[in-house]
Amino acid sequence: MDLDDLECVSSSDGLMDEDEDSVHARQRGGFIKKHGVGIGSIGIGLGTGVPSGLTPAAASVHELLECPVCTNSMYPPIHQCHNGHTLCSTCKSRVHNRCPTCRQELGDIRCLALEKVAEALELPCKYNSLGCPEIFPYYSKVKHEFQCNFRPYNCPYAGSECSVVGDIPILVTHLRDDHKVDMHSGCTFNHRYVKSNPREVENATWMLTVFNCFGKYFCLHFEAFQLGVAPVYMAFLRFMGDENESRNYGYSLEVGGNNRKIIWEGTPRSIRDSHRKVRDSHDGLIIQRNMALFFSGGDRKELKLRVTGRIWKEQPQQNLDSTSSSAGCIPTQSSLHLS
């Protein structure tokens, strides 16, 4: 893949505060579109509607615990107006201390009865429609959902802080159609990265390529950023799936020139780990600027790096001793070689 330059991509997606009329319109049954969501329209819907499998009594209590403004489940402190209408503490400031239902001034009244009732309620995980079978006490459910193995994945595209979430097929389609990411099939690759002025390094320079290999998808990142006061280039691979499954695969990256080369071998990190987390842990091939310019040859005024790589599937441990099984397997322990 020839690139004339590595461009900086950034945006400032954010949720703007809704004004009083917009929030009140929601209470009258109007539909309010979130501001700043951008291309998140293809993400799967995970609303906080009443979970399936509840008794009528439990379903009624669950509906009472739904905030009328943000529609999320309410947790202490739960506020109420003088007429008994409730809302969550987060939305109390969003509606400028006025009840979104009756428009009366909100005081500092807490609905202690509803908070107490919630303690006795047990609900299924909100990802039960995606396969999670767990049931939790009301106040323990959120902690589980934050790390539930069935929760949807965030978009792995790093350049725009994309808000889209979904399962892997949805995200692959989204990356191809909305982010125009290069898609490749195969377990080996050979990419050429070019930058006309390698001394201009910014923290928001990202490249992304997706590979379909062994029936799974992998994301190859290449970027430039400051490590202390020195600019560096980094390449690393992420697995589009959970962490346990990512350990079944290994990969290598190699870059070189002028009879020198650097090789990195490791295990791809799951996209559960954010792009920034992987980058800041330095879990990948890191190339110092001087070495990158040395590899580029010429007058050292232009970056021309060729990164090659391979993805493999690890063999079961009991087969590693046999010649036939280990022929295509490389140990996954991360290492950095300079030869």
Q: What is the arithmetic mean of pLDDT over 13-42?
A: 36
Contact indicator for 336, 263 with CB cutoff of 8 Å: yes
**Please, how many CA atoms are within 13 Å of residue 245, restricted to the half-sphere of its CB?**
14
With cut-offs at 50, 70 and 90, classify the pLDDT of residue 205: low
Range picked from 28-32, 92-96, 174-178 for highest mean pLDDT: 174-178
Hey, which CATH number is domain 20-147, 1.10.357.10, 3.10.450.230, 3.60.20.10, 3.30.40.10?
3.30.40.10
| 58 contacts 52 by C-beta, under 8 angstroms | no
- Backbone phi, psi, residue 313, to 5°: -105, 130
291 CB contacts (<8 Å, ≥6 apart)?
262
The answer, yes or no, to whether residue 298 has pLDDT greater than 80, is no
Residue 130 pLDDT more than 50? yes
Instruction: Average the pLDDT over 66-70 and give the result.
Output: 89
The answer to whether residue 292 scores a pLDDT higher than 80 is: yes
Q: For 261-270, how does the pLDDT look when each residue is reduced to its tens digit (9 = 90+)?
A: 999 999 999 9
Give the pLDDT of residue 31: 30
Residue for token pair 């071998």: 265
- Does 245 have pLDDT greater than 90? yes
Band of the pLDDT at 230, cuts 50, 70, 90? confident
Is pLDDT at 75 greater than 80 in this prediction? yes
For the chain, give the percent of residues with pLDDT over 90: 31
Token pair belonging to 25: 């319109």
Per-residue pLDDT of 80-93, as tens digits, reads: 998 989 998 889 88
Query: b or e along 63-92 (b: 16 or more beta carbons within 10 Å of the residue's beta carbon)?
Result: eebbbbbbeebbbbebbbbeeebbbbeebb
Which helix (H) or strand (E) element contains residue 62? helix 56-64
Chain-centre distance for alpha carbon 169: 15
Q: Is the dihedral of CA 53, 57, 62, 66 positive or negative?
A: positive
Q: What is the pLDDT of residue 185?
A: 94
d(CA 12, CA 49) in angstroms, rounded, equals 30
Tokens representing residue 138 in the block: 């009301």
Q: How far is CA 291 from CA 49, 219, 222, 287, 295, in A?
A: 55, 25, 16, 6, 6
What is the pLDDT at residue 52?
Answer: 54
Mean pLDDT (whole number) for 115-136 = 86
Q: Is the pTM of this model over 0.85?
A: no
Is residue 37 predicted with pLDDT exceeding 50? no
Q: Give the chain's mean pLDDT.
A: 76
Least-confidence region, from 15-19, 259-263, 276-280: 15-19
**Cα–Cα dist 54/62, whole Å:** 9
* 154-338 maps to CATH 2.40.50.140: no
Per domain, the residue ranges of the chain are 20-147, 154-338
In percent, how much of the chain has pLDDT > 70?
Answer: 71
For residue 23, what pLDDT is reported?
Answer: 39
* pLDDT (mean) for 287-293: 88
DSSP 187: S
> Helices 138-147 and 112-119: crossing angle, nearest 10°?
70
Q: What is the pLDDT of residue 19?
A: 45
N- to C-terminal Cα distance for the chain? 26
